[in-house]
Amino acid sequence: MDADTKPTIKDPTDTVEQDMMPRAISFPAGNDDFRAARNDCARACRRFNETPEDAAPEIRCKRWLDIVSPNRACTPTNTTTLDQTFRDPTLVPAAPFVKPPLHMDYGLRVRVGGSTFINRYCMIMDTPVADVVIGERCNVGPHCAILSVGHPVGVGERTSKRASTGREVRVGDGVWIGARVTIMGGVTIGDGAVIGACSLVTRSIPPRALAYGVPAEVVRILDEDEKAVDEDGEAGGSVETLEEALRLRSREVTPASSSSSSSNSGGGEKAAKSSAARSSSGSIYERPRRDRSQQHLGIRDSHGLTRAEILALVALAVSFMGCFFFGAMLVMTRFETDSPLPRVRDL
């Protein structure tokens, strides 16, 4: 191929084109048009944050669209609430359920699935040059931050007019982001992934991965039929009404696994078989329990003591022995320095 010949791109997703695209796009954030867009977004966020949580879905949807789509041609007149989607999964809300307060910089390239839930104090530092996309059926915990904006490392470029950069952030469908998670620019989180609380995500996470830490590291890949388990490795229960939830204080509600089994035909026999299997071969959730015990610092031995407790007992014993020997040395030194007692015949 000649030096003047340019490569032909057959598909928009071709690898050559992806390599040619800059990962970070710089823009003059201090210019008047960018500043005006930020001011418009700030006013829209302020109106959204003043909206009560029990406001009509149409009002919440309109004020959300004022942030992410201020130049839309029409205003929605009929919307679907998130509660309706729980009863009918085929429905898709027109806007996500976001608990205020919320903060965005521009909102012009932020796209959030209508069935996604975002908890309080979410901060999306977006840019007008890179997309921030959150898929459907996602859960975003409180105090989370998505930082799509950045700055050049070089001092000369960072202090010039083109002092800001933007990187794309994509979160797939069915992702759970724990509380106080920070997602940096250029990150893609695959479908069904789980990000542990207080994590710093600096690299992309594959689908159905459990990741946490600073920086976040993939711990394992989640199974398709992953179930919630408690500290003992047993499956937890579930309730359907507020009355059942309040009765949990007096332990009047049985776990969903046993109640659903007993309501069906032959459910009692199935529950008995599963109980016998757990008692004979150990818990059926042995792997999550083993993984969890390895994550805790206080791993217990056969006597029920943690490593920290054993170390404390050893330190106490060493201190006691040291005090004993120190006292013995003092007594011996005193006897050696004192004058001998006078004999009776010398009196």
Torsion region of 213: left, alpha or beta (phi above 0 gives left; psi -120 to 50 gives alpha):
left
Q: What is the dihedral of CA 87, 90, 95, 101, to 10 degrees?
A: 40
Please tell me the distance from the alpha carbon of residue 214 to that of residue 202, in angstroms, as a whole number: 9
Token pair belonging to 145 = 């931050």
103 as an active site residue: the answer is no
The catalytic residue among 103, 143, 151, 296 is 151
Q: Which residue has the tokens 């839309």?
A: 72
Over 71-121, what HEC string results?
A: CCCCCCCCCCCHHHHHHCCCCCCCCCEECCCEEECCCCCEEECCCCEECCC
Structure token digits, residue 306 = 């943690």
Query: Do 189 and 48 contact (CB within 8 A), yes or no?
Result: no
Alpha-carbon span 182 to 180, nearest angstrom: 6
Kindly list the strands in the beta sheet with 149-150, ordered across the sheet, starting from the edge strand earlier in the chain.
Answer: 25-27, 164-166, 149-150
β-bridge partners, 134: 112, 171
| Phi-psi region at 186: left, alpha or beta (left = phi > 0; alpha = psi -120 to 50) | left
Tell me the CB-side half-sphere exposure of residue 167, using CA atoms within 13 A: 19
Task: State the Cα–Cα distance between residues 109 and 133, nearest whole angstrom.
Answer: 8
Residue spans of alpha helices (H) in the chain: 15-20, 32-49, 57-68, 82-87, 155-158, 242-247, 256-263, 267-281, 286-295, 307-337
Residues with catalytic function: 151
